[in-house]
Structure 1
Amino acid sequence: MSLVPAGDERNRKHNLRLLIACPDRRGLISAVSSFISMHDGNILSADQHVSPAEDGVEGDAESRFFMRIEIEGAGFGVGREEFPGSFAPLARRHGMDWRVSYTDAPKRMAILVSRHGHCLLELLWRWEAGDLAAEIPLVVSNHPDLRERVEAHGIPFYYLPVTKETREEQELEMLRLLEEHAVDLVVLARYMQVLGADVVEAYRNRLINIHHSFLPAFVGADPYRRAHERGVKIIGATAHYVTEDLDAGPIVHQDVAHVTHRDAVEDLVRLGSEVERRTLARAVRWHLEDRVIVAGNRTVVFE
């Protein structure tokens, strides 16, 4: 993120997005609003949610408070370099986990893909249409099939073939590329490889996968065939953050399609690909717009 003097920011068109998670207590909304008002800030939108203690995350014994607030940048009296120090006393007082981002500094998103191109092409189409506020500095694949489709969009394509013998070496090269391109978010658009612990740790809560089933049903490979064998009446797709446990990370978004006894496996695959595309695209947009807070193995999503 580039930093500019506070004086130059006051009249530049941009907004701040502030995400907060902390123990719930009286006066939190007032405290945050007062901080913004004290610095001549104009609140454009604010959403909050309280997770009751009985629904606590991973056995939490107290209610949790979550908030997303967007502040108009023009006229706000705290510059980028100043904001962390200015907000820190309030955050410490209330035990807040928080982060701030700026709308004129779009996130840099890398896409990982294998042979199935439908999710990748959906993301690229929405990106070109202006629906995804991101920069895409690279696409990485373990197959060369989609190179021309990617490069037609002016995006560099890196082919890193993965075998049992080369997996560790290629993941190190992938991490090097992601770091070199200052990537903020990694999207697995049907990347049919299980990522190692080093990649997961480096991009924890910044690594979104699309799984072609309605998790927790049909974890792992070939879910459409297993769904057909089970005789399900709906199929689904799940966009989730990647963790060390296969297909078990915090869920960002899910969607479904209805099927019948007349549908073969191939029909489920066709219908499912449509669900996968829109489910992943929506989850990615929410992440890019700072609408997702991870809370244990759950998420709070301010749609």
Structure 2
Amino acid sequence: MARMTMIEAIRSAMDVCMERDERVVVYGEDVGYFGGVFRCTQGLQKKYGKHRCFDSPINESGIVGTAIGMAVYGLRPCVEIQFADYMYPAYDQLTQEAARIRYRSNNDFTVPMTVRMPTGGGIFGGQTHSQSPEALFAHVCGLKTVIPSNPYDAKGLLIAAIEDDDPVIFLEPKRLYNGPFDGHYDQPVTPWKKHPLGEVPDGHYVEPLGKAAIRREGEDVTVLAYGTMVHVAEAAAKETGVDAEIIDLRTIVPLDFEAIEASVRKTGRCVIVHEATRTCGFGAELMAVVQEGCFYHLEAPVIRVTGWDTPYPHAHEWTYFPGPARVGAALKKVMEG
């Protein structure tokens, strides 16, 4: 296996898919010659040519709209929205067209496209480069939503997304792009070349959509998390000494109900962690799942640890994020129940 950062793993996934299937095309703002603002597509245009990896205008609705047309036509576009915060002009295309074509056409047409978006904060990006909008996609029937937490999963899940026959929203936590993360946001963001993060196979492999992973086995409490918050939860469990079982959801649509219910029924307690704002965040859906499937097994109320219900507070970025201290306090509180 090669040692890769998440950036390199994502690039490797697109490379593998483009090499295996000439229908796969990659495009977006600055993804061609420049290689993307985070360099996730670096070298793909040189290897596959300008007709398969190319730059688009600064027009998110145009990027997604043309990808829908390409996908219906028979191609497999993998497009990049430069930051998840920029996707709102394309939200109409995603929700009214991409998510519905299979149903509107009575299964005659599918939309095998993937929309990649860097998500979340932790890189000093400010209000318009740091949002976590996953709940907006999870709400829409017909879209699949993926959020990896490590390079191995990032590659396997992205290959699965590109090969899927339905539209997939692939959210890439920016805080995990550039090197190791121990769950503490105040650590410096260091150059990715100096800090490879995980072992990743060079060739083709897939991680199935809709299958969660147990990152840490435990008996006392279940922690449900995804993306960057998996690492925060691991740090909190280590620092508090609570025997927490950490479930990395990996995909929130489709959701692995069986893994969630099996863990909560075993531990009898549950803490849910996500970076997005609290109200109508995906944690509310997870609470409903636990309530409906595990009520008689619960020993204490379910607790959410989330971002604040405010516009993204650039000046207070580090306290906005759920960190090990906040998650640790929730673990201790739920153990008192």
TM-score by length of 1: 0.33
User: Higher helix share goes to which structure?
Assistant: 2
TM-score by length of 2: 0.31
Return the index of the structure with the highest Cα Rg.
1
